[in-house]
Amino acid sequence: MIRFFQKTYAMSEKGAKDLRGAIIWTIVMDLSFMFPVVLGFKFLDEYLGVLLHASGSRGSSILSYVVMAFILFLVMLIITYFQYDSAYTRIYEESARRRISLAETLRKLPLAFFGKKDVADLSSTIMEDATQIEQLFSHTVPQLYAAIVTIIIMGVMLFLYNWQLALAVFWVVPVAALVFYLSRKFQSRSHVLLYNLKRGISDSIQEGLDAIHEIKSYNREEARSLIINGELDNYEETLIKSELLTGALINVSYAILKLGLPSVILAGAYLVSTGTISIFTYLVFLVVAARIYNPIMEALNNFAALIYLNVRIDRMKEMDHMPRQEGRTEFQPKNYDIEFSNVDFSYQDDMQTLKHVSFTAKQGEVTALVGPSGGGKSTVAKLSARFWDINNGRITLGGEDISLIDPETLLENFSIVFQDVTLFNASVMDNIRLGKKEASDKEILQAAHLAQCDDFVRRLPQGYATLIGENGEKLSGGERQRISIARAMLKDAPIILLDEATASLDAENESKIQSALSELIKNKTVLIIAHRMRTVSGADKIVVIKNGSIAETGAPWELEKQQGIFSSMVKAQYQNN
**What is the spatial distance between Cα 358 and Cα 342, in angstroms, rounded to a whole number?**
5
| DSSP-based three-state secondary structure for 413 | coil
Q: Which residues contact 3 (CB under 8 A, 6 or more apart)?
A: 16
Q: What are phi and psi of 268, to 5 degrees?
A: -60, -45
| In the complex, least distance from residue 292 CB atom to ligand ATP, rounded to whole angstroms | 58
Closest CA to 250 of 141, 142, 312, 177: 177
Q: For 162-259, where are the alpha helices, taking DSSP H only?
A: 163-170, 172-210, 212-217, 221-258
Residue type, 384: S
| In the complex, least distance from residue 114 CB atom to ligand ATP, rounded to whole angstroms | 10
- Nearer Cβ to ligand ATP, position 135 or 392? 392
- Applying CB under 6 A, what is the total number of residues that bind ligand ATP? 11
From the list 90, 377, 491, 512, which residue makes contact with ligand ATP (rule: CB under 6 A)?
A: 377
Regarding 398 and contact with ligand ATP (CB under 6 A), the answer is no
Q: Pick out residues in 86-115 that bind ligand ATP (CB under 6 A).
A: 112
| Cβ 452 vs Cβ 518: under 8 Å | no
| In the complex, least distance from residue 111 CB atom to ligand ATP, rounded to whole angstroms | 11
| In the complex, least distance from residue 383 CB atom to ligand ATP, rounded to whole angstroms | 9
From the list 163, 218, 347, 574, which residue makes contact with ligand ATP (rule: CB under 6 A)?
A: 347
**What is the spatial distance between Cα 480 and Cα 473, in angstroms, rounded to a whole number?**
9
| Run of H or E including 553 | strand 549-554
| DSSP-based three-state secondary structure for 165 | helix
**What are the strands, taking DSSP E only, across 413-487?**
414-417
From the list 15, 376, 472, 478, which residue makes contact with ligand ATP (rule: CB under 6 A)?
A: 376
Distances (CA, A) of 371 to 295, 501, 549, 575: 70, 14, 10, 17
Which of the stretches 85-93, 291-299, 369-377, 510-518 binds ligand ATP when contact is defined by CB under 6 A?
Answer: 369-377
- Nearer Cβ to ligand ATP, position 251 or 391? 391
- Nearer Cβ to ligand ATP, position 350 or 438? 350
- Nearer Cβ to ligand ATP, position 256 or 530? 530
DSSP state of 113: G
- Nearer Cβ to ligand ATP, position 489 or 543? 543
- The packing angle between helices 260-273 and 163-170, to 10°, is 160
- Nearer Cβ to ligand ATP, position 353 or 525? 353
Which of the stretches 165-173, 221-229, 305-313, 375-383 binds ligand ATP when contact is defined by CB under 6 A?
Answer: 375-383
Regarding 26 and contact with ligand ATP (CB under 6 A), the answer is no
Closest CA to 383 of 412, 423, 410: 410
**What is the spatial distance between Cα 573 and Cα 474, in angstroms, rounded to a whole number?**
33
In DSSP notation, 393-407 reads EEEEETTEEGGGB-H
Q: Pick out residues in 204-233 that bind ligand ATP (CB under 6 A).
A: none
Buried b (16+ CB within 10 A) or exposed e, 44-80: bbbeebeebbeebeeeeeeeebeeeeeeeeeebeebe
From the list 125, 183, 281, 353, which residue makes contact with ligand ATP (rule: CB under 6 A)?
A: 353
- Nearer Cβ to ligand ATP, position 353 or 431? 353
- Nearer Cβ to ligand ATP, position 99 or 377? 377
From the list 373, 523, 575, 576, which residue makes contact with ligand ATP (rule: CB under 6 A)?
A: 373
From the list 174, 374, 469, 538, which residue makes contact with ligand ATP (rule: CB under 6 A)?
A: 374
- Nearer Cβ to ligand ATP, position 420 or 508? 420
Q: Which residues contact 58 (CB under 8 A, 6 or more apart)?
A: 46, 47
| In the complex, least distance from residue 477 CB atom to ligand ATP, rounded to whole angstroms | 16
Farthest-apart Cα atoms in the chain, separation: 119
| In the complex, least distance from residue 505 CB atom to ligand ATP, rounded to whole angstroms | 17
- Nearer Cβ to ligand ATP, position 68 or 112? 112
Regarding 138 and contact with ligand ATP (CB under 6 A), the answer is no
- Nearer Cβ to ligand ATP, position 286 or 505? 505
- Nearer Cβ to ligand ATP, position 94 or 121? 121
| In the complex, least distance from residue 374 CB atom to ligand ATP, rounded to whole angstroms | 4
Which of the stretches 34-42, 88-96, 366-374, 425-433 binds ligand ATP when contact is defined by CB under 6 A?
Answer: 366-374
Regarding 375 and contact with ligand ATP (CB under 6 A), the answer is yes
**What is the spatial distance between Cα 545 and Cα 559, in angstroms, rounded to a whole number?**
13
Could you list the residues that contact ligand ATP (CB under 6 A)?
Answer: 112, 347, 353, 371, 373-379
